[in-house]
Amino acid sequence: MNKIDLNNRTAVVTGGVQGFGLAVVERFIDSGAKVVIWDRDQKLLDDLNIDNTIKINIDISNFDNVSSGFKLTLERVDKVDILVNNAGIAGPTVKSWEYPNDDWQKIMDINLTGTFNCCKVIVPHMIKNNYGRIINVASIAGKEGNPNAMPYSASKAGVIALTKSLGKELADKNIAVNCITPAAAKTRIFDQISQEHIDYMLSKIPRNRFVLVDELASMVSWMASEENSYTTGSAFDLSGGRASF
């Protein structure tokens, strides 16, 4: 495993108690960073025992909760250098015209509005310090659109556009804003979707396997490092060859 230098850096990782988020947390710590985990699942937070982490219960879909949570974070750490917006949900697998409105709203509130909330709260802090690395976890579905997952696909397309807009706004500063568009991984998010939809996603991947969480963590670690000093407003593909653009 290549070592990325994140010494003396502090990261906030949303949804960091499982799946992609936990893999990122572990890789960041191995690279020398201190990590603050934001997650709304108190039980998983309580059960997680990893050195060099601070755990805070935050619902990213609620702006006031994010704002107060960031203030609490700054009481525990001096600064935040890295933000990984990873928290997200898939929602049910349903035809678009039959999709429940409540599920649509919940997906948008967490996946897209949650990413916006975290960026809105933390970006001024990064501007003040003239340093930051923001990585938003989007999805290949945001590029191509998965059938029977229209709200999820739309929310991740929004994350890609948010990344491009914010990256341009901060391009004159030492702040890089990028997103990653992975294929699906065998995490607990699979519990939310049908086997038919899982089979569909696998059939679209030329490598004929799902991405591993450690593969995502490896790419995100470089994106979060000082070495990533030029690229901003970009989407990094991690789709096993599925991406068409």
Query: Is the model's pLDDT at 236 over the cut of 90?
Result: yes
Q: Can you tell me which residue has the tokens 């203030």?
A: 71
Mark whether 200 is an active-site residue. Answer: no
Query: Is the model's pLDDT at 42 over the cut of 80?
Result: yes
pLDDT at res. 166: 98
Query: Is the model's pLDDT at 36 over the cut of 90?
Result: yes
Compute how many other C-beta atoms are within 10 angstroms of the C-beta atom of residue 133.
Answer: 26
pLDDT at res. 1: 66
3-state DSSP assignment of residue 36 = strand
Name the CATH superfamily housing domain 10-237. NAD(P)-binding Rossmann-like Domain (3.40.50.720)
pLDDT at res. 185: 80
Query: Is the model's pLDDT at 187 over the cut of 80?
Result: no
pLDDT digits (tens, 9 = 90+) for 145-170: 999 999 999 999 999 999 999 999 99
Q: Can you tell me which residue has the tokens 């230098």?
A: 5
Average pLDDT of the chain to the nearest whole number: 95
Q: Can you tell me which residue has the tokens 């491009």?
A: 164
pLDDT at res. 232: 98
Tokens of residue 57, six digits: 């219960």
Query: Is the model's pLDDT at 193 over the cut of 90?
Result: no
159 CB-near residues (< 8 Å, 6+ apart): 85, 111, 112, 115, 136, 137, 138, 142, 179
What Rg do the C-alpha atoms of the chain give, in angstroms?
A: 17
Compute how many other C-beta atoms are within 10 angstroms of the C-beta atom of residue 239.
Answer: 22
Q: pLDDT-based confidence at 3, cuts 50/70/90? A: confident
Given the residues 99, 131, 152, 230, select the one marked as catalytic. 152
Q: Can you tell me which residue has the tokens 């937070």?
A: 45
What value does the mean pLDDT take over residues 204-225?
93
Question: Contact, 178 vs 233, CB < 8 A?
Answer: yes
Sign of the torsion angle spanned by Cα atoms 207, 148, 187, 122: positive
